[in-house]
Amino acid sequence: MTTTDAHKCANAACGCMTTSAKHCSPRCEALEMRPDIACSCGHAECKDKTS
């Protein structure tokens, strides 16, 4: 197992961690410009933070 460089998703409304790209998912990449919209990446971690 290699050492991964995990970092938080670039979407401010998202709390997911990602290691491969700037965003954890294409959805976050699209929502980065819309911080007023709740993250919809589908990750359980994020869903729990909505409200």
Question: Where on the chain is the footprint of Zn ion (CB under 5 A)?
Answer: 9, 11, 14, 16, 24, 28, 39, 41, 46
3-class state of residue 18 by DSSP: strand
Closest CA to 33 of 21, 42, 23, 43: 23
Q: Which is nearer to Zn ion, 1 or 42 (CB)?
A: 42
Kindly state the smallest distance separating residue 42's Cβ from Zn ion, in Å: 8
Closest to Zn ion by CB, 14 or 37 = 14
Would you put residue 45 in left (φ > 0), alpha (ψ -120 to 50) or beta?
Answer: alpha
Please identify, using beta-carbon distances, which residue of 1 and 51 lies nearer to Zn ion.
Answer: 51
